[in-house]
Amino acid sequence: MTSRPSIQLALLMGEGFLLLLSGGAMFVMISRCAGPDLLGEYSLVFAWMMLAGGLASFGIPEFIMRELGRLEEAGGRHAVHGLAIGSAFSVAATLLMAAVVPLFGYAAPLRSALWIASLALLPMMIAGICRSGFLARRQMHLLFAVAACETAIVVTINTALVLGGHGIVALTTTLLAGKLVASTLALFLLNRHAVPLRFEFDRAFARELLGPIVIFGLSNALGMVALRINTIMLSVWGTMAAVGQYAVATKLVEITLIVPSLFNQLMLPRLARRYATEGTRSLGGLEASFASFFALAIPAGVGVMVFAEPILTLIFGDRFAEAAAVLRVLMICFLVECLDGLLGVILKAAGRQDLDLRVYSANPVVNVLANFLTIPAWGGVGAGISKLVATLCSSSLRIFVVARAVAPMGWFRLAAKPAAIAAVAAACAVPLLGTVHGVVLAAGYTLACAALLAATRAFSFEALRAALGSPAK
């Protein structure tokens, strides 16, 4: 029953909803009950966890997902050695984070919370590899079960802690507990139901895997730097309240990125299997899937830009209305990231992760350098501008490289129709802002986009279901 594509899609979207609940609900709870200062601390802890987590996992989950999709017989041997190598990287990342945190001069409670957060890096890596196994084997019900377990722990306990007036140390301890329980459950389910594990370590095989893992890891680490470094750099030049304002905008962008991220994760093993059997010079037959992906992403991004202020005040309260400008900049970046991430998946699936690494390295370099100019001048808006410039740089390079190294694709042609539809709907909605209730106007925008996408056949659910299906053998 759970092997049906429609059921798998529902479970996968359910996991995305749980991620939304565990992350977004806590941001809403903290913003409304405690204000921008605690929210800034919470988002900063989360940024450090994700940044150091990228070093801890070192791209191993993504590499394992590709191998499980490419080679049916890979299975447990790859997973076991990935866990072993990942454990070494996780311990190193934990020690590094514990040593670096005191250099930033944070207050004692925040410093203690960050030390606690460093202990979550190993369970995060384990859960990430298990999640890759569930995705590659299309065991979405197991993925959903693990997410539900972690969400229940974090949301239930942290809600009580926020309402009770507790601080960042208690909230971070709960995050650690949720990661520990989720990773233990995920490892048990992976071994029992998805990828049987034989805990036999082969040094020669580990050395063989280490080469491509390092390439994946460097690429993944650069991605985490590009994703989280702006929050950390903003904390150096700004107040925790300013970090909190930036955090609510980035949280909404992360929620919007759930669907593109899931699409890319599903496409990686499918493309890897296709390239392993048919060669790496074709993207033929995938245009409908890519076009439908853009048909979901582009109207969503434009809609959030149009309704930025009503969304922020409705969800987080009036104190966060000033984050609207940051959110609009970041949503432009989101639209570019949808293409950027997909191009990276294509290169990695085709075995050109080394080329992708060289191209994508421009992103964090440009981002960090631009932050030194933009954050002191414009604060959170400046951080968003830096991120946008960096993403435009990496996506432009990736378009050129994919066309040369894999196959050309009319990306702008595929995105043109949903972009035009979103622009028309937005042009009709903007003059009515302030005169029509925001929720009603947003609902009208959504219905208009849906109707136009259906009328022009710009979206195909069947094409997305085909992307979800198991890779051809």
For the cut 90, the answer to whether the pLDDT of residue 78 exceeds it is: no
What is the C-alpha to C-alpha distance for residues 35 and 134, in angstroms, rounded to an integer?
Answer: 38
Q: Which CA distances in Å does 248 have to 36, 117, 163, 244? A: 9, 20, 19, 6
> Cβ distance 178 to 153 under 8 Å?
yes
Beta-bridge partner residues of 433: 436
For the cut 70, the answer to whether the pLDDT of residue 466 exceeds it is: no
For the cut 80, the answer to whether the pLDDT of residue 7 exceeds it is: no
Which residues lie closer than 8 Å to 188 by C-beta, 6 or more apart? Answer: none
Query: Which pLDDT score, from 0 to 100, does residue 426 have?
Result: 96
What is the C-alpha to C-alpha distance for residues 59 and 38, in angstroms, rounded to an integer?
Answer: 31
Among 369, 86, 399, residue whose Cα is nearest residue 233 = 369
Least confident of 79-88, 238-247, 288-297: 238-247
> Cβ distance 409 to 283 under 8 Å?
yes
SS (H, E, C) the chain: CCCCHHHHHHHHHHHHHHHHHHHHHHHHHHHHHCCHHHHHHHHHHHHHHHHHHHHHHCCHHHHHHHHHHHCCCCHHHHHHHHHHHHHHHHHHHHHHHHHHHHHHCCCHHHHHHHHHHHCCHHHHHHHHHHHHHHHHCCCHHHHHHHHHHHHHHHHHHHHHHHHCCCCHHHHHHHHHHHHHHHHHHHHHHHHHHHCCCCCCCCHHHHHHHHHHHHHHHHHHHHHHHHHHHHHHHHHHHCCHHHHHHHHHHHHHHHHHCHHHHHHHHHHHHHHHHHHHHHCCCCCCCCHHHHHHHHHHHHHHHHHHHHCHHHHHHHHHCHHHHHHHHHHHHHHHHHHHHHHHHHHHHHHHHCCCHHHHHHHHCHHHHHHHHHHHHHHHHHHHHHHHHHHHHHHHHHHHHHHHHHHHHCCCCCHHHHHHHHHHHHHHHHHHHHHHECCECHHHHHHHHHHHHHHHHHHCCCCCHHHHHHHHCCCCC
Least confident of 8-17, 22-31, 38-47, 67-76: 67-76
Beta-bridge partner residues of 436: 433
pLDDT (average), residues 109-127: 95
Q: Which range in 33-37, 446-450, 453-457 is most confidently predicted, on average pLDDT?
A: 446-450
Query: Which pLDDT score, from 0 to 100, does residue 458 have?
Result: 87
Query: Which pLDDT score, from 0 to 100, does residue 167 have?
Result: 92
Q: Given pLDDT bands bounded at 50, 70 and 90, which one contains residue 473?
A: very low
For the cut 90, the answer to whether the pLDDT of residue 335 exceeds it is: yes
Residue 447, Cβ neighbours under 10 Å: how many?
Answer: 11
Query: Which pLDDT score, from 0 to 100, does residue 333 have?
Result: 96
| Dihedral sign computed on CA atoms, order 228, 233, 236, 238 | negative
> Tokens 């740089």 sit at which residue?
393
Query: Which pLDDT score, from 0 to 100, does residue 472 have?
Result: 44
pLDDT (average), residues 163-184: 94
What is the C-alpha to C-alpha distance for residues 219 and 58, in angstroms, rounded to an integer?
Answer: 8
For the cut 70, the answer to whether the pLDDT of residue 280 exceeds it is: no
Residue type at 429?
A: A
Least confident of 4-8, 21-25, 469-473: 469-473
pLDDT (average), residues 206-227: 80
Query: Which pLDDT score, from 0 to 100, does residue 374 have?
Result: 95
> Cβ distance 153 to 177 under 8 Å?
yes
What are the sequence ranges of the domains in the chain?
1-237, 239-350+410-473
For the cut 70, the answer to whether the pLDDT of residue 2 exceeds it is: no
Kindly state the percentage of the chain with pLDDT values over 90: 46
Query: Which pLDDT score, from 0 to 100, does residue 1 have?
Result: 47
> Cβ distance 418 to 458 under 8 Å?
yes
Q: How many Cα atoms within 13 Å fall on the side-chain side of residue 280?
A: 16
Kindly state the percentage of the chain with pLDDT values over 70: 93
pTM for the structure as a whole:
0.76
Query: Which pLDDT score, from 0 to 100, does residue 469 have?
Result: 57
> Cβ distance 405 to 344 under 8 Å?
no
Q: pLDDT of 433-452, one tens digit each?
A: 988 888 899 999 999 999 99
> Cβ distance 179 to 127 under 8 Å?
yes
> Cβ distance 218 to 59 under 8 Å?
yes
Among 237, 253, 130, residue whose Cα is nearest residue 192 = 130
Burial track 314-348 (b if 16+ CB lie within 10 A, e otherwise):
ebbbebbeebbbbbbbbbbbbbbbbbbbbbbbbbb
> Cβ distance 183 to 123 under 8 Å?
yes
Query: Which pLDDT score, from 0 to 100, does residue 216 have?
Result: 81
Q: pLDDT of 401-412, one tens digit each?
A: 999 888 888 899
Work out the mean pLDDT of the chain and round it to a whole number. Answer: 87
Residue type at 244?
A: G
Q: pLDDT of 119-165, one tens digit each?
A: 999 999 999 999 888 888 778 888 889 999 999 999 999 999 999 98
Query: Which pLDDT score, from 0 to 100, does residue 285 have?
Result: 72
| Dihedral sign computed on CA atoms, order 11, 16, 21, 22 | positive
What is the C-alpha to C-alpha distance for residues 435 and 31, in angstroms, rounded to an integer?
Answer: 27
Query: Which pLDDT score, from 0 to 100, does residue 153 have?
Result: 93
Q: Which CA distances in Å does 282 have to 290, 405, 406? A: 14, 10, 7
Who wins on pLDDT, 330 or 406?
330
